[in-house]
Structure 1
Amino acid sequence: MKVVAFKRELQGTGASRRLRNSGQTPGIIYGGTEAPVTISLDHNALYHALKKEVFHSSILDLEIDGAVQKVLLRDFQMHAFKQLVLHADFQRVDASTKVHMKVALHFANADVSPAVKLHGATISHVANEIEVSCLPSDLPEFITVDLSNIDVGHSLHIGDLTLPKGVTAITHGANLTIATASVPAGHVAAEAAAAAPAADAKPAAKGKK
């Protein structure tokens, strides 16, 4: 994805407020061997880009004065109640240096899992993203979580994921839970109630000849 930015000379609260009033969002680019550069971006273009998942987990082409740099979106601030992007931070990336990045999880095949097909279970998504380490060229847009084999009472962990080539999950020593499968309490109670009359039923007495 491409992002167009402009160098921003004036800084401070007043300058930032004037930028926002003119439809621009202040930001900064940092990292690498170059000095940080303060920038401004078109607010509406940035606001709509932030709605796209790929914008948060992809290497972006950021153009300033005709020169393009490879960057990652590292942070952004939103207004407390207005649909207003207050600031955006971008980090330069080097093609030969691994990056640490949070990547979204996409859950698939829950409907064909034993938990759902056989037991009517609910699969809860405990995590919606994980942190990974990889070269910029290997950074995935998302990671697919295959739920086809999960059964009731079982959980899926980071260690169970099939990661793309060159991508390593950062776990900090913990095999964190990604998803769990459980039967809703109401469903269990209904099944028990339905089974009770059958268990309590007595054979009918035989009639006299």
Structure 2
Amino acid sequence: MPLATVHLLRHGEVHNPDKVLYGRLPEFHLSDLGRTMAQRAAEHFTARRDAGAKIVLLAASPLDRAQETAAPTAAALGLEIVTEPRIIEATNHFEGLSRIGSQLKRPRHWPYLVNPLRPSWGESYSAQVERMMEAVRTQRDAALEIGGPGAEAVLVGHQLPIWVTRRAAEGKPLWHDPRRRECTLTSVTSLVFEGNRLVDVRYEEPSADLLAGAANIPGA
């Protein structure tokens, strides 16, 4: 059975001085630091290619921050960016709001907080995993058609959908504490397949040394 790898790359830091939970809103672009992170991700995948990896496909969520994160990798590897709508950010009742902690004290939001295991304030974790894995399988198969056995694809997306997809891949419950997600800015979560069987999950942080100065809002 042919081996294939799909790398789930989270976007870089976003310019967001008002600390808005921006969700699927347009016009939230990478900050200067975010662009540095995107370049770091490009260097990571370039080094991987130079070491012999067959990275043949690059896809990104339609949101600005994902497309901008993908751009340096596209330039470095000579790949076109395929827009993949199934890896978009999750829907969220609190989208567009800031100071989420204080928002939780308002009674009008309480009906959305009744089931944190689903979660009741947005798209269910299971629905996110379903659409993410559909995209992963589609782009994995496309990469195999292009590059043959050992082909690799990079999908640029968002923290929560990537994180719950990883938890599903590792056989863990999808509910979790958002503060404990291991999916930092421009981190790479890699799913390794043998045929249709998922055989390994790997995690790397190309921008680890840049994270201390970065803004990072859970769910963004």
Q: When the two structures are superposed, what TM-score results if normalisation uses the length of structure 2?
A: 0.25
- Whichever of the two has the greater Rg, that structure is 1
Q: Which has the higher strand share?
A: 1
Q: When the two structures are superposed, what TM-score results if normalisation uses the length of structure 1?
A: 0.26
Q: Which has the higher helix share?
A: 2
RCO (CA 8 Å, sep 6+): is it higher in 1 or 2? 2
